[in-house]
Structure 1
Amino acid sequence: MNKLKILNDPIYGFITIPNALVFELIQHKYFQRLRRITQMGMSYLVFPGAHHTRFQHAIGCVHLMQKVVQVLRFKEIVISKEEETALYVAILLHDIGHGPFSHAMEHSIVKNVSHEQISLLFMEELNTEFNSSLTLAIQIFKGKYPRKFMCQLVSGQLDMDRADYLKRDSFYTGVSEGNINSERLITMLNVVDDALVVEEKGIYSVEKFINARRFMYWQVYLHKTGIVAEQLLIRVLKRAKEIINKGIPIETSKAFQYFLEHDISLTEFNIEVLNRFAELDDFDIITSLKTWQYHEDFVLRNLCDMIINRKLLKIKMKDTKVKTENLEKHIEKLVAKYKITAAEAKYFVFSGQISNQTYMLKNQGIHILYNSGKIRDIADVSDQFDPKALTKPVTKYYICYPKEKL
């Protein structure tokens, strides 16, 4: 009974840990690391309250999954005890593979390895440690479990991950437009032919959910200041690796040093590498930035100073691709002013693109169950949305360069 703890959450109030296995997983060092990984990366430079963590988010997801299980059982959907625990474990550990600053450094610390792939590696290692009690959860996480609705609850367009992060991120950023009524949405869920559906009376809640997600992406997650801060952080890593490869010593933590010295791909991700990765968190990066802002290297020093003291590059958003001559003009100016090479100047002058798709049709759609028994996609029945506009990816382009001086 000592393991059925109650946690106090600012979003949902009291959250109960459902069983001993979930408690033991929360207590594990792999999961405790998430207390030191921010949910929204560099967004705190735009929204000062956005310091909440992946730990809080994962616990919130488990709470929502408990509500789902209650609602579906009330509607006579059979969910066994084993399946229930597997759902809790899968949603608890879905983000365990995130590196420092969440998405900001994905693919940078390790070579083309996504956080989902690292999450799976952590889950498989924990499965060995916990006598194969995570096998079913891993199946659900991978989307391989035959009962499709369970996979959709962990990873889908109306999953508990989104249901928590939209509500939580909107709360901590103070952006009220992103707030959704996750309890109402959950109450409207049902299952037909082992696939997730939303009952007809929940259609407006779904519309609000999709609108909130679209708003949060363009106004918060893809905010231009957040974008430039993330890009600077990626470039800090790139420069630090270059310096180490030249044989110049660089001061940092042991765990971070290992990943700066090695290019780790998925095939090299053995248990030793996984444990080293588990030692990495936001504090390694922040401490390194604070140290490197005094490094003798011009590029590294200035990049770190920009992030630590929030003296970021200027960023301009465009609807069309940035012309090469625009970039070259800013590069030439920097080269002349600071007597640096064009390659070094490119750390401070660059372009890129961001894109987002509000809603995906076909297999991943949100389906509405009518009282007549008919099932239709939300994009076909909503009078609020133009399906073509809703499902079309929107791409924006940006250029970054120094405001006046470095």
Structure 2
Amino acid sequence: MVKTNKLNVFNDPIYGFIGTPNELIFKLIGHPYFQRLRRISQMGMSYLVYPGAHHTRFHHALGSMHLMDKAIQILKLKGVTISEEEETGLLCAILLHDIGHGPFSHALEGFVVKDLNHESLSLRFMEELNTEFNGQLDIAIAIFEGDYPKPFMNQLVSSQLDMDRMDYLKRDSFYAGVTEGNINSERLISMLNVTNGNLVVEEKGIYAVEKFLMARRFMYWQVYLHKTGLVAEQILVRIMQRARKILSEGNQLEGSPSLLFFLKKNGNAAFDKEVLSVFAQLDDVDILGAVKSWRSHPDFVLSKMCEMLLDRKLLHIKIKKRPVDSQKMEKKLEEIAQMYDLSEEDAANFVFQGEISNKAYSEEQQAINILKKNGKITDVLKESDQLSLKALSTTVIKYYSCYPKEAV
């Protein structure tokens, strides 16, 4: 089992005490790149709906590492060969899997750095840390990229039943104060095994897998895609777009050096070591500080949106099963343009529409395989009564429309 110096322990509200398994893990947690995660919200703007949802990516990374440690010990007890170096690689890979998230996590994904998702940025951070730690992250990076010769190791980090999902469902539901995501992660982990190099779930764990998939579906509709959080994040994105436009026209804006760097670069900066070091200085504090200062900016569109976000006087939002009538939206656009004395282009910051989707289980991705008592391996969809109609593997699309309450 993991040997832990009693001084190097984190008290987690979900799992209790989480230890640092070795000196490398301890140093990684103490690194400025990782400490930055204390200032990155796990659930974006969801705290505007669920007041307790102020936990961070730092919490989640430690929780995921804790579950990975549990999974490793279970698999080793079942005879799966995992060397000490591989164990460290697995723990490092899951610890750093989200280190590339930008401010407010998914809310501004791809905006600060265009065409680079958080997984790609996490890899950049890991490569830089690997250089700093003299190649000690070689195995972790290979596992993270899916290049390691034991597929189950990557599946523990990134699959449809990985330690990442097991932690964030349980953690996010706890902090949000909802029960839908409260999965039995211990039961799931105890049912894991490895066959032909791939991760499987023993047959008696199928009901725990069903609950896990249902929890993921409910959490997306009820929490992650809640209409209030959705419209708040859309406003935040439009605030950043407006700020970028103002800067591109030669005007000045207040803001931290790291935020202004990426706004002026228009998201197209070549991501070298220098740019990585600037990104490592960027977090939620930069965004909130800028939004507070821009609230008094002479540009009406920018100041109005900042006011909406800070005072939680958000746009009205409707979510329906069918696309919104474009003529109705055009009429609302004209109405708001006249009401605020704006061009239709500027009024479009307050009147817009889009779509959201939810798919709890994807047949195209690595399947969740069930190991039957007779030794055969089948997909969870074929074995589950509850999933026999493949309801959870069908993509459900809904459509939203947003506009000021004055136009209701």
Q: Under a length normalisation based on structure 2, what TM-score does the superposition of the two structures give?
A: 0.97
CA deviation after TM superposition for structure 1 residue 265, in Å:
3.4
Mapped partners of 1:281, 1:214: distance in 2? 29
CA deviation after TM superposition for structure 1 residue 184, in Å:
0.8
Partner of 1:134: 137
1:359 corresponds, among 322, 338, 361, to 361
Partner of 1:56: 59
Partner of 2:372: 370
Counterparts of 1:14-33 in structure 2, within 5 Å, are 14-33=17-36
Partner of 2:350: 348
Counterparts of 1:107-146 in structure 2, within 5 Å, are 107-146=110-149
CA deviation after TM superposition for structure 1 residue 87, in Å:
0.2
User: Does the aligned pair in 2 maintain the 1:368–1:376 contact within 8 Å?
Assistant: yes
Secondary structure at the residue paired with 2:45? helix
User: Does the aligned pair in 2 maintain the 1:322–1:398 contact within 8 Å?
Assistant: yes
User: Does the aligned pair in 1 maintain the 2:199–2:369 contact within 8 Å?
Assistant: yes
User: Does the aligned pair in 2 maintain the 1:113–1:265 contact within 8 Å?
Assistant: no
1:327 corresponds, among 324, 329, 337, to 329
Mapped partners of 2:173, 2:11: distance in 1? 19
Partner of 2:340: 338
User: Does the aligned pair in 2 maintain the 1:207–1:382 contact within 8 Å?
Assistant: yes
Partner letter of residue 255 of structure 2?
Answer: T
User: Does the aligned pair in 2 maintain the 1:3–1:23 contact within 8 Å?
Assistant: no
Secondary structure at the residue paired with 2:143? helix
Mapped partners of 1:172, 1:335: distance in 2? 40
Partner of 1:98: 101
Partner of 2:80: 77
Change (3 A) 1:303 1:362: closer
Q: Deviations over 1:144-178 (max 9, x none)?
A: 11211000000001100001000000100011111
CA deviation after TM superposition for structure 1 residue 385, in Å:
1.6
1:265 corresponds, among 264, 268, 272, to 268
1:243 corresponds, among 246, 254, 267, to 246
Partner of 2:165: 162
User: Does the aligned pair in 1 maintain the 2:332–2:407 contact within 8 Å?
Assistant: no
Mapped partners of 2:69, 2:295: distance in 1? 46
Partner letter of residue 284 of structure 2?
Answer: D
Mapped partners of 1:129, 1:304: distance in 2? 40
CA deviation after TM superposition for structure 1 residue 284, in Å:
0.5
User: Does the aligned pair in 2 maintain the 1:185–1:205 contact within 8 Å?
Assistant: yes
Counterparts of 1:191-340 in structure 2, within 5 Å, are 191-265=194-268, 268-340=270-342
Q: Deviations over 1:83-112 (max 9, x none)?
A: 100000000000000000000001111112
Mapped partners of 1:304, 1:386: distance in 2? 47
Mapped partners of 1:91, 1:274: distance in 2? 20
Q: Which runs of 5+ in 2 are unaligned?
A: none
2:40 corresponds, among 27, 37, 43, to 37
Partner of 1:402: 404
User: Does the aligned pair in 1 maintain the 2:244–2:266 contact within 8 Å?
Assistant: no
Mapped partners of 2:288, 2:407: distance in 1? 23
Q: After TM superposition, what 4+ stretches of structure 1 lie above 6 angstroms from structure 2?
A: none
Q: Deviations over 1:236-278 (max 9, x none)?
A: 0000001111111101111111011112337x00011000000
CA deviation after TM superposition for structure 1 residue 405, in Å:
7.6
Aligned pair count reads: 405
Q: Cα RMSD between the aligned structures?
A: 1.4
Secondary structure at the residue paired with 2:26? helix
Secondary structure at the residue paired with 1:177? coil
Partner letter of residue 175 of structure 2?
Answer: Y
CA deviation after TM superposition for structure 1 residue 388, in Å:
3.1
Mapped partners of 1:107, 1:140: distance in 2? 24
Mapped partners of 1:169, 1:87: distance in 2? 23
- Calculate percent identity across the aligned residue pairs: 60
Mapped partners of 1:101, 1:240: distance in 2? 17
Change (3 A) 1:138 1:265: farther
Partner letter of residue 53 of structure 1?
Answer: T
Partner letter of residue 146 of structure 1?
Answer: P
* Greater alpha carbon shift after TM alignment, 254-263 vs 85-94: 254-263
Mapped partners of 1:293, 1:6: distance in 2? 41
* Greater alpha carbon shift after TM alignment, 380-389 vs 349-358: 380-389
User: Does the aligned pair in 2 maintain the 1:3–1:20 contact within 8 Å?
Assistant: no
Q: Under a length normalisation based on structure 1, what TM-score does the superposition of the two structures give?
A: 0.98
